[in-house]
Amino acid sequence: MSNPSAVLEEKPAVAPRNVGILGGIQGRIDDKLPSWFTDQQRAGWTQFESLPMPSRTDQAWRFSNVSLLDLAPYSVAPALPDADAHDILERSIDLDDVSGRLVFADDHFLERDVISEKLRKAGVIFQPLERAMLEHEELFRQHFMSQPAGLGSAKFAALHEAFVRSGTFLYVPRGVEVDLPLETFHWLHSENAAIFPHTLVVAEELSKVTLLEHFRSTDRSRAGFACGVNDLIVGPGAKVTYICAQDWSDQTLSIQINATTVARDATALNLHLGLGGKYSRLESLSRLNGEGAHSDMLAVSIGDDAQEFDARTLQDHASPHTNSDLLFKNALNGRARNTFGGLIRVEPHAHFTDAYQKVRNLLLSDDAEANSMPGLEIMADNVKCSHGATSGQIDDDEMFYMLARGIPASVARELLVGGFLNEVLERLPDAILTAKLEELIAEKFARRGR
């Protein structure tokens, strides 16, 4: 890493007390941050306290194992010792060629690879948000937490707002194309650490950018809680590709809330790879706001042991001539559970909409469980919408064919599962990214093999 960080020279003014996050934000507010921000933090906490915990009778939490949502054990972690930070930095490289890289551990900003002089001159901003809110206050404030969490996690969005202290602000000005992807790492490090990763991407008209985010745990046996928000604002004609590769430890409780707004003629592609976590919930909303807007919503989850993946999505068509295409594929082994609740909503007057939603579950064991709730709400005319949900298992004939060629059963299974998931990964516009995600999946298979 060629550019050591020197962003916030000072340590936080008030050292957090070692109490759980349910103890509140008292003493955690950083007075150096703008008052509108700290006010928002306080309001977030009030909001969090006033909202009820989710219950399974809420439609948005139907089938979810809400008993896993006990937040009592988790607390905000102190800054890392230098040696630990050094180790983490060593491990924080995935792509060989990037336009920039940010690394966070336990919500402490560690380091960044700055973007090139050319991009900087073009006006691209790629900064930790605690710095962006000072240096680009107006721009940041305009978009920060501007999308309400509408898919069930309003309470967790409020908690995020109360505790958020680091994350990524990416701004790409009009007409600027960032060729190489940008990369970030969020690490969970201390036992029972609670982190609140935030990502805000604003791509102005006719710009283009790709962001790959890694969510990882330094120690796969440690528990943690991640409550992240990532908002993508895609301007007219712009193209944003956002990938989240979630590989927390299997003891982690994870809630990730995404809102993407897509303007006229713009294209957004979201891909969420779910590998880790004890309970991992993804809420993803694409709002198609202008004619010609297009959104691809993709996800792959691989569940093992007692892992639970819980995805809730909304394809919200607010303008005519918009289209969205959702494809979620889940491979479930052990006692893994997956829940998908998705809705295509075509608002009145959003005529000539094409919207598709497909969920495919591959059940690999007798105890695996898949719940699917694909949904359609159509209030406009001249629409083409369809959804499909299937659950099945590995085809016996395909398996036998491979065995007959001398391929061991475990390898054959891996190949067939890989083939099943590939349809999603291949939709990425860049073969390098596809290959990287395939590597992560292979690592998970290898771990299971041990």
Q: Tell whether residue 22 is a contact of another protein (CB under 8 A).
A: no
Site for another protein in 29-58 (CB under 8 A): 57-58
CA end-to-end span of the chain: 32
User: d(Cα 155, Cα 161) in Å, to the nearest integer?
Assistant: 10
User: Residue 177: helix, strand or coil by DSSP?
Assistant: strand
User: d(Cα 140, Cα 31) in Å, to the nearest integer?
Assistant: 18
Q: Tell whether residue 59 is a contact of another protein (CB under 8 A).
A: yes
Q: Tell whether residue 377 is a contact of another protein (CB under 8 A).
A: yes
- Which of 177/377 has CB closer to another protein? 377
User: d(Cα 402, Cα 397) in Å, to the nearest integer?
Assistant: 9
The stretch near another protein (CB under 8 A) out of 109-117, 147-155, 209-217, 362-370 is 362-370
Q: Tell whether residue 392 is a contact of another protein (CB under 8 A).
A: yes
Question: What does the block give as tokens for 436?
Answer: 């990287």
Q: Tell whether residue 387 is a contact of another protein (CB under 8 A).
A: yes
**Binder among 235, 287, 374, 413 for another protein (CB under 8 A):** 374
User: d(Cα 218, Cα 185) in Å, to the nearest integer?
Assistant: 11
Q: Tell whether residue 383 is a contact of another protein (CB under 8 A).
A: yes
- Which of 65/391 has CB closer to another protein? 391
Q: What is the smallest separation between the CB atom of 343 and another protein, expressed in angstroms?
A: 8
User: d(Cα 9, Cα 79) in Å, to the nearest integer?
Assistant: 13
Q: Tell whether residue 189 is a contact of another protein (CB under 8 A).
A: no
- Which of 216/345 has CB closer to another protein? 345
- Which of 3/382 has CB closer to another protein? 382
Q: What is the smallest separation between the CB atom of 121 and another protein, expressed in angstroms?
A: 46
Residue 288 bridge partners (DSSP): 262, 317
Q: What is the DSSP string of 305-325?
A: TT-EEEEEEEEEE-SSS-EEE
Q: Tell whether residue 364 is a contact of another protein (CB under 8 A).
A: yes
Beta carbons within 8 Å of 317's beta carbon, 6+ residues apart: 288, 324, 344, 345, 346, 347, 350, 353, 355, 380
Nearest C-alpha neighbor of 157 from the set 65, 257, 64, 233: 257
Q: Tell whether residue 398 is a contact of another protein (CB under 8 A).
A: no
**Binder among 66, 365, 415, 427 for another protein (CB under 8 A):** 365
- Which of 46/390 has CB closer to another protein? 390
Q: Tell whether residue 363 is a contact of another protein (CB under 8 A).
A: yes
Beta carbons within 8 Å of 427's beta carbon, 6+ residues apart: 269, 271, 296, 298, 327
Site for another protein in 301-360 (CB under 8 A): 348, 351
Q: What is the smallest separation between the CB atom of 89 and another protein, expressed in angstroms?
A: 43
- Residues forming the site for another protein (CB under 8 A): 57-59, 62-63, 348, 351, 361, 363-394
